[in-house]
Amino acid sequence: MSRATTEQPSGDTLEADVVVVGAGPAGSSAAWTLARSGIDVAVLDKAEFPREKVCGDGLTPRGVKALGDLGVDTSGWVRHRGLRVHGGGQVVEVDWPRLSHWPAYSLVRRRSDLDATLAAHAAAAGARLHTGVTVTDPLLDDAGRVSGVRAVAGPDSRPVTWRARLVVSAEGLSGRLAKSLGLVRREDRPLGVAVRRYVRTPRTADDYLDISFDLSTEGPTAASMPGYGWIFGMGDGTANVGFGLLDTRRSSGEDPRGTLRRWLTTLPADWQLTEENAVTPLRGAGLPMALHRQPAYSRGLLLAGDAAGAVNPLNGEGISYAMETGRMAAETAADALDRREGLAREAVLRRYPARLRTEYGHHHRLGIGLLALLRNPAIVRFATAHGLQRPALVSAALRLMGNLTDGRDGDAVDRAMSVLTRLIPAV
């Protein structure tokens, strides 16, 4: 596997046309796109690659497409043909839809490998990758516009200043740069939380990814929990096993770690998903959803991926959206840098939040609405008990949740989804 190369900054002040903060999927996609446009781009990450990222490691067909668009070679990666959905005591296997815009398979890849591959891919395209560099603050000019970043680099935390014409924040959930410009999280958007660990299990190689809505049997609110458990076979003797709660405002109050542990005890003994077979600690992180930090452009700073809150509120998927928004931020930056400095450039940059809203706003509105419905335990019980008896309905629901459609060019399900999402105003 290719590995990210490391270039240590020398001297106290360095320059690039664009500085990208964070070399996760959002940052590496942004850096790759900028480098391919011939723009001098530096991508800074506090970690050394490969590094762990707490994640389910699942790349839906949307994620597979985003990797293909970047030209990443995924041959040999573990593939799945669909989902095995558990709910209301029933189990149904649903293949990924056959669509013209999206591949009909998903992939799993440990994030330590995926992110190192993406960072190396960006570096190979010409991006200057600097690892072990922790960005601390935006650098502001006299007009209060972002003109670079301040950072500390290396084991001795040497102060470094990076000057840039534009900065892309792809630093994940923390959104430190955005916060320092006053771009705080919108409280009216859902925030999820997810936990996961790797467990040694015979269910490591499977054509289907398991997801379960049968998480709880206890308490009056338990059945209405808007979330699911997953078992993603990694093909290496282990599975990535986790639980994601899609909206912490609508939780039963139980710690997600407790939910996961309890759910695992309800699974068949021969799956061996026991505490003793765990090979990593149980770790968790937040899922920032529905573009919760706005505007996604302000004063020379563009937000992408989790920093912009790009996770899909209907399924908790964030890798594909990180790659997509990373590319869109980079395309916007490249277009802007082509214009004369001043109003013309600023006008291009200010269109970036509207582009994200056009792309995702309708789907996010739908997601927020459906999450609100899941507050009602009767609806959840009815949907799992009756819905899973109809595989075609499950398939349509998964397409909707996964935002996988050919739009108006597609079949009847696609056309219905297109009408539904267009009828709903964007958020």
Ligand X SMILES: Cc1cc2nc3c(=O)[nH]c(=O)nc-3n(C[C@H](O)[C@H](O)[C@H](O)COP(=O)(O)OP(=O)(O)OC[C@H]3O[C@@H](n4cnc5c(N)ncnc54)[C@H](O)[C@@H]3O)c2cc1C
* Nearer CB in complex with ligand X: 21/296: 21
What dihedral do alpha carbons 201, 204, 205, 209 form, nearest 10°? 120
Residues 6+ apart with CB under 8 A from 196: 54, 55, 56, 240, 241, 242, 243, 282, 283, 284
User: At which residue do the structure tokens 């009828």 appear?
Assistant: 423
Cβ–Cβ < 8 Å for 403, 320: no
* Nearer CB in complex with ligand X: 213/345: 213
Name which of 324, 359, 352, 347 is nearest 30 in CA terms. Answer: 324
Least distance from C-beta 189 to ligand X, angstroms?
14
Least distance from C-beta 135 to ligand X, angstroms?
4
Least distance from C-beta 25 to ligand X, angstroms?
4
The whole-angstrom separation of Cα 152 and Cα 146 is: 18
HEC per residue, 132-170: CEEEEEEEECCCCCEEEEEEEECCCCEEEEEEEEEEEEC
* Nearer CB in complex with ligand X: 53/165: 53
* Nearer CB in complex with ligand X: 56/88: 56
* Nearer CB in complex with ligand X: 114/427: 114
Q: What number of residues does the chain have?
A: 427
Nearest residue to ligand X, by Cβ distance, number only: 318
* Nearer CB in complex with ligand X: 122/319: 319
Least distance from C-beta 23 to ligand X, angstroms?
5
Least distance from C-beta 406 to ligand X, angstroms?
21
User: At which residue do the structure tokens 């190396």 appear?
Assistant: 120
Name which of 147, 131, 137 is nearest 49 in CA terms. Answer: 131
The whole-angstrom separation of Cα 309 and Cα 175 is: 9
* Nearer CB in complex with ligand X: 23/85: 23
Which residues sit at the interface with ligand X, rule CB under 6 A? 21-27, 44-47, 53-58, 63, 134-135, 170-172, 174, 176, 194-196, 242, 284-285, 287, 305-307, 311, 317-320, 322
Least distance from C-beta 62 to ligand X, angstroms?
8
* Nearer CB in complex with ligand X: 48/341: 48
Least distance from C-beta 118 to ligand X, angstroms?
9
Cβ–Cβ < 8 Å for 318, 310: yes
User: Does residue 58 sit in helix, strand or coil?
Assistant: strand
The whole-angstrom separation of Cα 172 and Cα 174 is: 6
The whole-angstrom separation of Cα 106 and Cα 118 is: 18
Least distance from C-beta 85 to ligand X, angstroms?
16
What dihedral do alpha carbons 195, 200, 205, 210 form, nearest 10°? -30
* Nearer CB in complex with ligand X: 99/191: 191
Least distance from C-beta 411 to ligand X, angstroms?
25
